[in-house]
Amino acid sequence: MSLLQVYVEGLREGDADKLASVFADDALFNDEAPRAMGMDAIVLKGAAAIRENFSGLLANGGMNIENVCINGNAMRYDIVLSPDFSIRALGVATVENNRIASYEVMAVA
């Protein structure tokens, strides 16, 4: 199973520990997709910060992630927030020593 597949499973299952397990201790995480909803980007450094952030975001359960397409270290997916609203996202990972060293996410049209 690829690192991005484990990441998606963690999101879907609401498992911040699983999600964070694919990141390097000093990983950089930059998620610009929230800007599509008028919110600030999520910028985190380190697996511990990623785990802490997603523990809060996933406190009420997993996220509805659909239409996942993984190609190497890139992933296109939909974050479904309601029946009428979803964010189309593109994430690109840089992998070093079998862990994600950096992950950049942006909303796409």
Mean pLDDT of 48-70: 95
CA distance 58 to 64: 11
Position 63 scores a pLDDT of 94
Residue pair 78/65 in contact (Cβ under 8 Å)? The answer is yes
Residue pair 2/29 in contact (Cβ under 8 Å)? The answer is no
Mean pLDDT of 9-36: 97
Position 82 scores a pLDDT of 87
Q: Are strands 74-82 and 64-71 parallel, antiparallel or unpaired?
A: antiparallel
Q: How confident is the model at residue 100 (pLDDT cuts 50, 70, 90)?
A: very high
Q: What is the CATH number of domain 3-107?
A: 3.10.450.50
Which has more pLDDT, 69 or 82? 69
The domain segmentation of the chain, as residue ranges, is: 3-107
Nearest CA to 75 out of 42, 17, 18, 33 is that of 33
Nearest CA to 97 out of 24, 6, 1 is that of 24
Longest dimension (CA), the chain: 40
Taking 90 as the threshold, does the pLDDT of residue 36 lie above it?
Answer: no
Q: How confident is the model at residue 37 (pLDDT cuts 50, 70, 90)?
A: confident
